[in-house]
Amino acid sequence: MKQNLVQKILEDHLIDGKCETGEEIGIRIDQTLTQDATGTMAFLQFEAIGIDRVRTKRSVSYIDHNMLQTSFENPDDHRYLQSAAARFGVYFSRPGNGICHQVHLERFAVPGATLTGSDSHTPTAGGMGMIAMGAGGLDVAVAMGGGAYYLKVPKVMRVNLTGQLQPWVAGKDIILEMLRRLTVKGGVGWIVEYGGSGVGTLTVPERATITNMGAELGATTSLFPSDEQTRRFLIAQDRESDWRELKPDGDAEYEETIEIDLSELEPMIAQPSMPDRVVKVSEIEGLPVHQVCVGSCTNSSYMDLTRVAAILKGKTIHPRVSMTLGPGSKQVFQMISQEGTLSDIIAAGARIIESGCGPCIGMGQAPPTGAVTLRTFNRNFAGRTGTSPDRSYLCSPETAAAAALTGEITDPRKLGEYPSVKLPEKFIINDNMIVVPPEDGRDVEIIRGPNIKPVPAKDPLPDVLEGELLLKVEDDITTDHIMPAGAKILPLRSNIPAISEHVFVRVDETFPTRAKAAGGGFIVGGLNYGQGSSREHAALAPMYLGIKAVIVKSFARIHFSNLVNFGIVPLEFADTAGYNKLNQGDNLKITNLLKGLDEGKVILTNETTGSKVDLVTALSARQVEIIKAGGMLAYTKGKNQ
């Protein structure tokens, strides 16, 4: 049978199940990555699983999110993670070394291998021909222990790229165009495989921008072939031996194919407050801009920043605009400083911030009230900047630099000649900020600060669930709505009792108090519930508050798995009209739940109105067992006994 590239790599790693669309399979994971904001939970859970040393080919622990040390919490987490990495045989990327996805692409990603990461933008490595997927920390902990990663085999969508990008049009505009066409729900259940004659014109960093932001489509991951461009990038990273050619069979089949002619694309921009509210930059030109932020795992590569430097060179940032720029990695930072282009950026008046997530996750640089902020990032969910309400737009570094100079949204094609930037033949290779673990870490002491609290446990699932409908929300609820991030809340990531005080506060600040007073209850939502981040805190903290089941029109992939892992029952309306039969404050009851889950059908009674609502589950038999046990940790322990 002719295979597409996704099928080839999945088949190559198959441990359990049949590689057919919709079937649940378990695959071998070659590499894992964790970052500090989700990593503490992942490592606490790895400790709870009780394995002595990671069993992957390579596991890397990064510090990039919680880089603001306003008190002891974040630095304590860093120290815990560094000691745990040494203890369990994990490479440790020290704070300052860069954003996990950028560094992983530079130094570790390998064509044809598999990667899971406790961060939703793990698919960045798909730009290198890797099957790279975001997952909850617990799933990554299991993979670190050598366990299979389970997923339902997604459908494969081929994106046929033809032509060539015109000057001032960037890789970012390709993925923004994809979001315009498909929306933030369009990729759920799919892997996006790029191909066609246009692929060879895109460098690995440009491909990585596209696969990175494929997360915003809801896609399981996105994948590029491994070709001469990949080889060039790996040679420049002094890793040619990691290269191998990877491509789909000549007439491989795809469940869907879409065409993008690169030559016809224009600069694009996503408007507040969803990454799919995309229009052409030319359609909203002239809007005054107050802040411009260049960076994040989407657009902070050497090529991105060198181009921004060339655009800013000899000019001054508009007086109305505060511009920040954060290099994606120490490698990028060192390259632009050595070549002197950093000096052009500084001279123009940009504020240089360290290599980390920074403003992308609300760790500083909140915009002023009512301000328009233009960001080269991947998410503009309401309030994510730290200011609420906010007006956050997503665009390419070219469009961002243009606005920084003119003080308004400007089609960058008006800036004149496009600065030519080439992939360097050699990057500066200096891995001195990556700590290699000792051969035997059994004597290493794990250091825990007072903010690091144990992972809460849950009892096995009862047959009857009863309680109040505590919150009813709409479509496209993100994990940023459920469990906000930012400078105030992120330091609590290792402390579930403390962070649970912030669940849903941006939607309804009374939620945590009401949930606790009611002894828990239910949440009802619309389509694509839980899109966005992989943070399992969006399941763990509600579980801690006593949430028993979440009932929605449809779920986003990673959040669905996280609910299962923490024993919250994920249910869907059999008929979406059921959504209208439930109102906040109603008393809900589900009986015969255990049998219902086995059969995939559950009947809910609205005790307040007397109406019945049919619900279904998309749980595999394995997931039903996990839920019944009270979550993945209890399930794993039960199996090992």
Whether 375 is catalytic is: no
Q: Establish if 211 lies at the interface with ligand MIC (CB under 6 A).
A: no
170 binds, among ligand SF4, ligand MIC, none (CB under 5 to 8 A by kind): none
A 10 A CB-CB count for 307 gives: 23
User: Buried (b) or exposed (e) across 211-231, using 16+ Cβ within 10 A?
Assistant: bbbbbbbbbbbbbbbbbebbb
Catalytic residue among 65, 207, 318, 375: 65
Q: Are 101 and 121 in contact (CB under 8 A)?
A: yes
Whether 343 is catalytic is: no
535 binds, among ligand MIC, ligand SF4, none (CB under 5 to 8 A by kind): ligand MIC
Peptide linkage before 273 cis (omega within 30 of 0): yes
What's the first-to-final CA gap in the chain, in angstroms? 42
Q: Establish if 382 lies at the interface with ligand MIC (CB under 6 A).
A: no
Q: Are 269 and 376 in contact (CB under 8 A)?
A: no
Q: Establish if 503 lies at the interface with ligand MIC (CB under 6 A).
A: no
Tell me which of 199, 336, 361, 400 binds ligand MIC, using CB under 6 A.
361
**Shortest distance, CB of residue 421 to ligand MIC, whole angstroms?**
26
Tell me which of 317, 348, 394, 485 binds ligand MIC, using CB under 6 A.
485
Virtual CA dihedral for 424, 427, 428, 433, nearest 10 degrees? 140
Tell me which of 534, 565, 606, 636 binds ligand MIC, using CB under 6 A.
534
386 binds, among ligand MIC, ligand SF4, none (CB under 5 to 8 A by kind): none
C-alpha–C-alpha distance, residues 74 and 33, integer Å: 19
The string of DSSP letters for 314-374 reads T----TT-EEEE--SBHHHHHHHHHHTHHHHHHHHTPEE--SS-GGGGTSS-PPPTT-EEE
State the binding string over 433-472 for ligand MIC (x if CB under 6 A, else -).
Answer: ----------------------------------------
251 burial type by CB count under 10 A (0-12 exposed, 13-18 middle, 19+ buried): exposed
- Nearer to ligand SF4 by Cβ, of 332 and 523: the residue is 332
Q: Establish if 478 lies at the interface with ligand MIC (CB under 6 A).
A: no
- Nearer to ligand SF4 by Cβ, of 17 and 134: the residue is 134
Token pair belonging to 13: 């790693």
Q: Establish if 207 lies at the interface with ligand MIC (CB under 6 A).
A: no
**Shortest distance, CB of residue 357 to ligand SF4, whole angstroms?**
3
C-alpha–C-alpha distance, residues 212 and 221, integer Å: 9
Catalytic residue among 535, 537, 557, 559: 535
Tell me which of 27, 37, 60, 633 binds ligand MIC, using CB under 6 A.
37
553 binds, among ligand MIC, ligand SF4, none (CB under 5 to 8 A by kind): none
Q: What residue spans of 5-109 are helical by DSSP H?
A: 5-12, 36-49, 73-88, 100-107
Whether 431 is catalytic is: no
Whether 622 is catalytic is: no
C-alpha–C-alpha distance, residues 183 and 52, integer Å: 43
Token pair belonging to 234: 């790996």
- Nearer to ligand MIC by Cβ, of 485 and 602: the residue is 485
- Cα-Cα-Cα-Cα dihedral sign, residues 81, 86, 90, 93: positive
- Nearer to ligand SF4 by Cβ, of 296 and 387: the residue is 296
- Dump strand ranges (E) for 553-627: 569-573, 587-590, 601-606, 612-616
Give the CA angle between residues 375, 380, 386 to the nearest 5°.
90
Q: Are 38 and 171 in contact (CB under 8 A)?
A: no
Q: What residue spans of 204-251 are helical by DSSP H?
A: 204-213, 228-236
C-alpha–C-alpha distance, residues 641 and 633, integer Å: 12
User: Buried (b) or exposed (e) across 440-470, using 16+ Cβ within 10 A?
Assistant: ebeebebebbebbbebeebeebeeebebbbb
Q: Which residue has the tokens 């990603």?
A: 109
**Shortest distance, CB of residue 379 to ligand SF4, whole angstroms?**
6
Catalytic residue among 76, 77, 119, 476: 119
147 binds, among ligand SF4, ligand MIC, none (CB under 5 to 8 A by kind): none
Peptide linkage before 389 cis (omega within 30 of 0): yes
534 binds, among ligand MIC, ligand SF4, none (CB under 5 to 8 A by kind): ligand MIC
C-alpha–C-alpha distance, residues 321 and 158, integer Å: 40
Piece in contact with ligand MIC (CB under 6 A), picked from 385-393, 531-539, 613-621, 629-637: 531-539
- Nearer to ligand SF4 by Cβ, of 479 and 494: the residue is 479
- Site residues (CB under 6 A) for ligand MIC, limited to 101-130: 119-121
**Shortest distance, CB of residue 487 to ligand SF4, whole angstroms?**
13
Whether 119 is catalytic is: yes
- Nearer to ligand SF4 by Cβ, of 528 and 554: the residue is 528
Virtual CA dihedral for 568, 574, 576, 578, nearest 10 degrees? -80
Q: Within 13 Å of residue 476, how many CA atoms lie on the same side as its CB?
A: 14
99 binds, among ligand SF4, ligand MIC, none (CB under 5 to 8 A by kind): ligand SF4
- Site residues (CB under 6 A) for ligand MIC, limited to 160-189: none
- Nearer to ligand SF4 by Cβ, of 361 and 404: the residue is 361
Whether 64 is catalytic is: yes
38 binds, among ligand MIC, ligand SF4, none (CB under 5 to 8 A by kind): ligand MIC
CA distances from 76 to 36, 63, 70, 71, 624 (A): 11, 12, 12, 9, 37
- Nearer to ligand SF4 by Cβ, of 203 and 380: the residue is 380
Q: Establish if 533 lies at the interface with ligand MIC (CB under 6 A).
A: yes
Q: Within 13 Å of residue 210, how many CA atoms lie on the same side as its CB?
A: 28
- Residues at the interface with ligand SF4 (CB under 6 A): 65, 99, 119, 121, 296-297, 357, 360-361, 377-378
**Shortest distance, CB of residue 490 to ligand MIC, whole angstroms?**
8
- Nearer to ligand SF4 by Cβ, of 365 and 378: the residue is 378
Phi, psi (rounded to 5 degrees) for 359:
-60, -20
**Shortest distance, CB of residue 534 to ligand SF4, whole angstroms?**
9
**Shortest distance, CB of residue 364 to ligand SF4, whole angstroms?**
12
Q: Establish if 38 lies at the interface with ligand MIC (CB under 6 A).
A: yes
Piece in contact with ligand MIC (CB under 6 A), picked from 41-49, 331-339, 528-536, 601-609: 528-536
Q: Establish if 535 lies at the interface with ligand MIC (CB under 6 A).
A: yes
**Shortest distance, CB of residue 102 to ligand SF4, whole angstroms?**
9
Site residues (CB under 6 A) for ligand MIC? 37-38, 65, 119-121, 134, 361, 485, 532-535
Q: Which residues are designated catalytic?
A: 64-65, 119, 379, 533, 535
